[in-house]
Amino acid sequence: MTTSTSTRADVAFQRCISPHCEATYGVDEVLTACPACGQLLDVAYDPDQLNLPKSLSFFEKKWSQRTDPLAFSGVWRFHELLPFASREKIVTIGEGQTLLQQADSVAKFTDMLPGNLYLQYEGMNPSGSFKDNGMAAAFSHAHSVGAKRAACASTGNTSASLAAFCSVTGLMKAIIFVGAGKIAYGKLSQALDYGALTVAIAGDFDDAMLRVKEVSKQLGIYLVNSVNPFRLEGQKTIMYRILEALQWEVPDWIVVPGGNLGNSSSFGKAFAELYEWGLIDRIPRLAVINAQGANTLYELYERRGLRWNGGSPNQQIIDDYYTELDRDHKRASTIASAIEINRPVNLMKCLRALETCRGVVREIHDQEILDAKAQVGAGGFGCEPASAASVAGVKLLRQQGVIQKDEKVVCILTGHLLKDPTATVAYHGTDQDQFNKVLGSRGVKRAGFANRAVQVANNLEEIVRSIQMYS
């Protein structure tokens, strides 16, 4: 089986997600919403033109072709499952070399049986978050259509990823919009060091998102936020790699933090397609975890009963909720800055994914997020605060009896531990002022799993005594 060099318009197109519209558009068009009805768009494929393998194990063979950068990439290895770009336009910076870890100590913390909880470390991507999966796809599309400038609004990781793709390839200039003071230092460092034009807006992510849409439209700049349907095609590959690591056994649950809901949406699409294409015989359940301080999806889905409803969700429920947010001047607020979002742009697609995967949504307090994060660090490679919402979510769903302890559960750890050192050091540190400033202000009361540095005089005897005492 070969990868065609000119698939694209012959196999891929864009299609409105609303079943009442289903307008289609060419794969070369640059759109972030359906011009006919305003809904989000999918990248869709003509099943007769797809060059699908007979079984998913086909993809294992690509390991023997690793000297080809497209076989090395954890995204483009699966090109047959997202064949919208022609080979010569595909861009890779080595994304998707990530790891699925069986984490028994975290299993214990969440009341799962040993061997049943897995952590998918997407922080091991080149820019340190899962965003590189989606960026590989969106950036390739941008390159295919000849874009020279690309923009995004970001809580930090999308901008770090875009900036890295621009600096590594030299193909485009990155223009990023962030809420001033709303972005963790690790992420801001990346944007600055990679040379992105960084626009810090006096506002939060939701403000930056509105502005970047206006500005990119006005100036004709390619937008890489997850309203871009090509982003989500790349993020499907996180699911493919998990299946591969589980030797193509479908787990019972995928648990993911929810911010703009791009990941959850793309996971639902990935499984719906694999099922439709006859490559899997069952679909896992999906749990999307909000932070309590940014809980729009939880509020709408679990409390107000909003559903995909065959593509006709009750828009009144959404409008009412956003009106209330505005009336009460309620802004998103959580230590998990990557999911500090009140108006998730992929809400509709996520509702569809929740239907596909018989999903549930939960909200988690920052206290639980940070305690779970400390457990991920103590039992593995660590993660940034937002990522740990997934683990805290499993713990809650175990307590509620929604997840069974002998089910197979995969938590998506979306970002690297080093993205947000401020939160980690405040949690483990002995500086009470710092704790209060960074965490106390969010209602975090204790550091349940703090690993404090031992303070000791610069004196050999004392140093030796401390080590004897603590180890």
The residue ranges that bind ligand PLP (CB under 6 A) are 129, 131, 157, 226, 257-263, 338-339, 384, 386-387, 414-415
Confirm if 282 and 355 have CB atoms less than 8 A apart.
no
Q: Which of the choices Zn ion, ligand PLP, none does residue 258 contact, using the CB cut-off of 5 to 8 A by kind?
A: ligand PLP
Closest distance to ligand PLP from the beta carbon of 64 (Å)? 32
Q: Which of the choices ligand PLP, Zn ion, none does residue 37 contact, using the CB cut-off of 5 to 8 A by kind?
A: Zn ion
Q: How far apart are alpha carbons 364 and 367 in whole angstroms?
A: 8
Closest distance to ligand PLP from the beta carbon of 282 (Å)? 24
How many residues at the interface with Zn ion, by CB under 5 A? 8
CA quadruple 362, 368, 370, 374: dihedral, nearest 10: -110
Q: Which of the choices Zn ion, ligand PLP, none does residue 414 contact, using the CB cut-off of 5 to 8 A by kind?
A: ligand PLP
Q: Which of the choices ligand PLP, Zn ion, none does residue 21 contact, using the CB cut-off of 5 to 8 A by kind?
A: Zn ion
Question: Closer to Zn ion at the Cβ: 34 or 82?
Answer: 34
Closest CA to 337 of 176, 187, 160: 187
Stretch that binds Zn ion, among 11-19, 130-138, 233-241, 394-402 (CB under 5 A): 11-19
Question: Closer to ligand PLP at the Cβ: 107 or 339?
Answer: 339
21: left (phi over 0), alpha (psi -120 to 50) or beta: alpha
Q: Which of the choices ligand PLP, Zn ion, none does residue 74 contact, using the CB cut-off of 5 to 8 A by kind?
A: none
Closest distance to Zn ion from the beta carbon of 21 (Å)? 3
Question: Closer to ligand PLP at the Cβ: 43 or 386?
Answer: 386
Q: How far apart are alpha carbons 208 and 345 in whole angstroms?
A: 13
Question: Closer to ligand PLP at the Cβ: 92 or 157?
Answer: 157
Closest distance to ligand PLP from the beta carbon of 72 (Å)? 23
Question: Closer to ligand PLP at the Cβ: 11 or 138?
Answer: 138
Confirm if 40 and 311 have CB atoms less than 8 A apart.
no
Residue window 35-74: x/- pattern of binding to Zn ion, with contact defined by CB under 5 A? -xx-x-----------------------------------
Closest distance to ligand PLP from the beta carbon of 415 (Å)? 3
Q: Which residues pair with 289 in a beta bridge?
A: 257, 362
Closest distance to Zn ion from the beta carbon of 1 (Å)? 34
Closest distance to ligand PLP from the beta carbon of 414 (Å)? 3
Confirm if 53 and 78 have CB atoms less than 8 A apart.
no
Closest distance to ligand PLP from the beta carbon of 231 (Å)? 9
Question: Closer to Zn ion at the Cβ: 38 or 114?
Answer: 38
Question: Closer to Zn ion at the Cβ: 96 or 229?
Answer: 229
Q: How far apart are alpha carbons 1 and 202 in whole angstroms?
A: 52
Question: Closer to ligand PLP at the Cβ: 73 or 226?
Answer: 226
Q: Which of the choices ligand PLP, Zn ion, none does residue 386 contact, using the CB cut-off of 5 to 8 A by kind?
A: ligand PLP
Residue window 364-393: x/- pattern of binding to Zn ion, with contact defined by CB under 5 A? ------------------------------
Stretch that binds Zn ion, among 26-34, 83-91, 208-216, 285-293 (CB under 5 A): 26-34
Half-sphere exposure of residue 395, counting CA atoms within 13 Å on the CB side? 20
Q: Which of the choices ligand PLP, Zn ion, none does residue 338 contact, using the CB cut-off of 5 to 8 A by kind?
A: ligand PLP
Closest distance to Zn ion from the beta carbon of 16 (Å)? 3
Q: Which of the choices ligand PLP, Zn ion, none does residue 16 contact, using the CB cut-off of 5 to 8 A by kind?
A: Zn ion
Question: Closer to ligand PLP at the Cβ: 123 or 251?
Answer: 123
Closest CA to 282 of 253, 323, 313, 244: 253
Q: How far apart are alpha carbons 184 and 340 in whole angstroms?
A: 12
Question: Closer to ligand PLP at the Cβ: 56 or 351?
Answer: 351
Q: Which of the choices Zn ion, ligand PLP, none does residue 93 contact, using the CB cut-off of 5 to 8 A by kind?
A: none
Residue 34 in the binding site for Zn ion (CB under 5 A):
yes
Closest distance to Zn ion from the beta carbon of 18 (Å)? 5
Closest distance to Zn ion from the beta carbon of 353 (Å)? 18
Q: How far apart are alpha carbons 214 and 371 in whole angstroms?
A: 39
Interface residue list for Zn ion (CB under 5 A)? 16, 18, 21, 23, 34, 36-37, 39
